[in-house]
Amino acid sequence: MAMPSPLPENLAELIAARFRLLSEPMRLRIIDRLRRDEAGVGELAAELGTSQQNVSKHLQTLYSAGVVERRREGNSVIYSLGDAGMVEMCDQVCGGMERHLGDLTSTLETIRRS
């Protein structure tokens, strides 16, 4: 897919919003967990070591963006990944970091430059 050039402001905002979804560690960890298997809110909260409310809030964000699907099962709500593209992006950014000579080097580099 070709990006229009110069990138219009409104399109830039749409793309930025997409990246912003993945710019929070907790959301990345939720996606990573759902990548292996669907799960309920309480289950996610327990495994990720945070509150039910926090997980619920992030799941709302991801659901509004279409990243995640949900389905009611008895008293629970089961969430699962609904957008394979997001997982691909996670993998790609990992590749990008590998290209930067590993996490440690990248981190040290950031510190050195700041």
Q: Does residue 72 bind DNA (CB under 7 A)?
A: yes
Determine contact, residues 79/72, Cβ cutoff 8 Å: no
Neighbours of 11 (CB within 10 A): 11
DSSP letter for each residue of 14-43 = HHHHHHHHTSSHHHHHHHHHHHH--EEHHH
Determine contact, residues 10/17, Cβ cutoff 8 Å: no
Of the residues 18, 28, 56, 89, which one makes contact with DNA according to CB under 7 A: 56
Determine contact, residues 30/59, Cβ cutoff 8 Å: yes
In the list DNA, a second copy, none, the entry touching 43 (Cβ below 5 to 8 angstroms by class) is DNA
Question: Could you tell me which stretch among 20-28, 84-92, 97-105, 106-114 binds DNA (CB under 7 A)?
Answer: 20-28
Residues in contact with a second copy by CB under 8 A are 1, 3, 5-7, 9, 11-20, 22-29, 32-33, 35-36, 47, 63-66, 83, 85-86, 88-100, 103, 106-107, 109-110, 113-114
Residues in contact with DNA by CB under 7 A are 20, 23-26, 40-43, 50-54, 56-61, 70, 72, 74-77
